[in-house]
Amino acid sequence: MTSAEIARTRDEALAEIRVAETLRALEAVRVKYLGRKGLLPQIMKGLKDLPEQNRAAAGLEANELKSRVGEAIEQRGAELGAAGPAREPFDPTLPGLWHRPGAMHLISRVIEDVTRICARIGFTVADGPDVETKHNNFDALNTPERHPSLDPRDTFWLETGECLRTQTSPVQIRVMKSRPPPVRVITPGRCYRRDTTDATHGANFHQIEGLYVDRGVSLADLKGTMAYFARELMGPAVKVRFRPHFFPFTEPSVECDFSCHVCGGAGCRVCKSSGWIEIAGAGMVDPRVFEFVGYDPEEFTGYAWGFGVERVAMVKYGLGDIRVLYENDLRFLEQFA
């Protein structure tokens, strides 16, 4: 009888004990191993045939085996005995005891996703007030007086001469005025425009903008950042493309499309068959903006980008109507738990 055989016998015995479902079955196992003609007494008997030098070690192992099996039978017997006719009824299909989980609002979720994605490449969050000066919201962003965005039909002007910010770009102005380059910030926040509420507009919405100012920043950096951002936010296969556009505070300005994360660019309902979805506006910071905040445009360049949080939420989660985000129906909200 070798050590390996003893070990195998032990494993077999313990397994049989474990699966014994009744006291009677357990008794049969006991007889098989420990009974007068059981396996273990036979092993003991066989010890004397072993060579002298192995006999002592094998004896120890055999004794240990015997006591292990004995203990296991005793323990299993106690289990089976206690779980006898006196057991309480037990229904594992009853509902689990819940501490009902809460859920983050989809808008917060997108903002936090973006914050996390951008944090990996060194963007920190900056903040500013909802009530802004005309200077920060328009003038310092190189927006001429006659630009339609200043129109009281589009912007909420207050009696103080301030306005409800129409974009989070004024936070960029605040940041740049408060510290020298390099700057790498994102500015999530609430914005206001005098839009009549419909399926895709609301007078109250959220934006996230990003700003990077340093020496030697180029359009290629902007492209790379948007490409990284698109992959992280919408999925690894999502690509970006740029189209030239106009914003007062960037030059050149671009619109940034993401390839459709639903159809992969083949064309579907979400991308209106075009394969691309317009997501962000971006561009290289206009030197005139740098002059407003006291940065030297000869020394520094930078890029800025921005997008609507609601729009991204709708595109990413396939929502057809922006209003569902502000209805606050629990049955909608809790799906984002």
Partner 1 sequence: MNVPLSWLKDYVDVDAPPEELARRLTFSGTEVAAIRTVGSSFDGIVVAEIVETAPHPDADDLLVCRVKDGRRVVRVVCGARNFAVGDKAPFAPAGCRLPGGRAIGATEIRGVESEGMLCAEDELGLSDDHSGLLLLPRETPAGAPLAEALGPPETVLDVEVTWNRPDCLSIIGIAREVAALFGGKVKLPSVVFREDGRPVEELAKVTLEDAQGCLRYTARVLWDVKQAPAPLWMRRRLSLCGARAINNIVDITNYVLIECGQPLHAFDYDLLADHHIIVRRARPGETMATLDGAPRCLTPDMTLIADPRKAVAVGGVMGGAGSGIRPATTRVLLEAATFDPLRLHRASLALALSTESSYRYERGVDVARVEWCSRRAAALMTELAGATAARGVIDAYPNPQAERAIRCRYGRVRALYGVETPDDRVVSILESLDLPVVSRDAESCVVLAPSFRPDLEIEADLIEEVVRVNGLDKAPTLTPSALVAPDASDAPAQALIRCRSNLVGLGLTEIMNYSFLPAELLDRFTPGETARRVALPNPVSADYAVMRDSLIPQMADTLGRNRFRQVEHAAFFETGRVFLRDDSGVIHEEERLALGLMGAPGRTALDARKPAQAQESFLWLKGILEQIARVQRVNDLAFAPFEHPALELGRTVAVIVGEAPAGVAGLLRASLGAEYRMNGPVAIAEMSLAPLLARAFGAPELKPVPAFPSVTRDVALVAPANLTNEAIARVIRRHAPPELTSVELFDIFSGEGIRKGYRSLAYSLVYCSAERTLTDEDASRYHAVVKNALTSELGVEIRDK
Nearest approach in angstroms of CB 172 to partner 1 is: 13
Nearest approach in angstroms of CB 81 to partner 1 is: 32
What are phi and psi for residue 23, nearest 5 degrees? -65, -35
Of 139 and 251, which has the nearer Cβ to partner 1? 251
Q: 269: which DSSP letter?
A: T
Of 33 and 300, which has the nearer Cβ to partner 1? 300
Nearest approach in angstroms of CB 88 to partner 1 is: 17
Q: Which residues contact 7 (CB under 8 A, 6 or more apart)?
A: none
Of 40 and 186, which has the nearer Cβ to partner 1? 186
Cα-based distances in Å from 9 to 65, 87, 213, 241: 8, 33, 74, 69
Nearest approach in angstroms of CB 320 to partner 1 is: 18
| Helix (DSSP H) and strand (DSSP E) numbers for the chain | 12, 9
What's the CA gap between 135 and 124, in Å, rounded?
Answer: 24
What's the CA gap between 221 and 177, in Å, rounded?
Answer: 23
The tokens describing 42, both together, are 């036979």
The tokens describing 162, both together, are 């301030």
What single string gives the DSSP state of each residue in 192-227? E--PPP-SS--SEEEEEEEEEEETT--HHHHHHHHH
Of 16 and 162, which has the nearer Cβ to partner 1? 162
What's the CA gap between 189 and 174, in Å, rounded?
Answer: 14
Of 56 and 104, which has the nearer Cβ to partner 1? 104
The tokens describing 131, both together, are 């009530």
Nearest approach in angstroms of CB 314 to partner 1 is: 14
Nearest approach in angstroms of CB 115 to partner 1 is: 7
Of 32 and 109, which has the nearer Cβ to partner 1? 109
Other CB atoms within a 10 A radius of the CB of residue 195 amount to 13
Nearest approach in angstroms of CB 199 to partner 1 is: 16
Nearest approach in angstroms of CB 254 to partner 1 is: 6
Q: 312: which DSSP letter?
A: H
What is the β-pairing status of strands 183-192 and 204-214?
antiparallel
What is the β-pairing status of strands 183-192 and 240-247?
unpaired
Of 40 and 126, which has the nearer Cβ to partner 1? 126
Contact at 8 Å (CB) between 42 and 49? Answer: no
What is the β-pairing status of strands 124-125 and 183-192?
parallel
What's the CA gap between 47 and 312, in Å, rounded?
Answer: 78
Of 62 and 333, which has the nearer Cβ to partner 1? 333
Of 72 and 309, which has the nearer Cβ to partner 1? 309
Nearest approach in angstroms of CB 26 to partner 1 is: 37
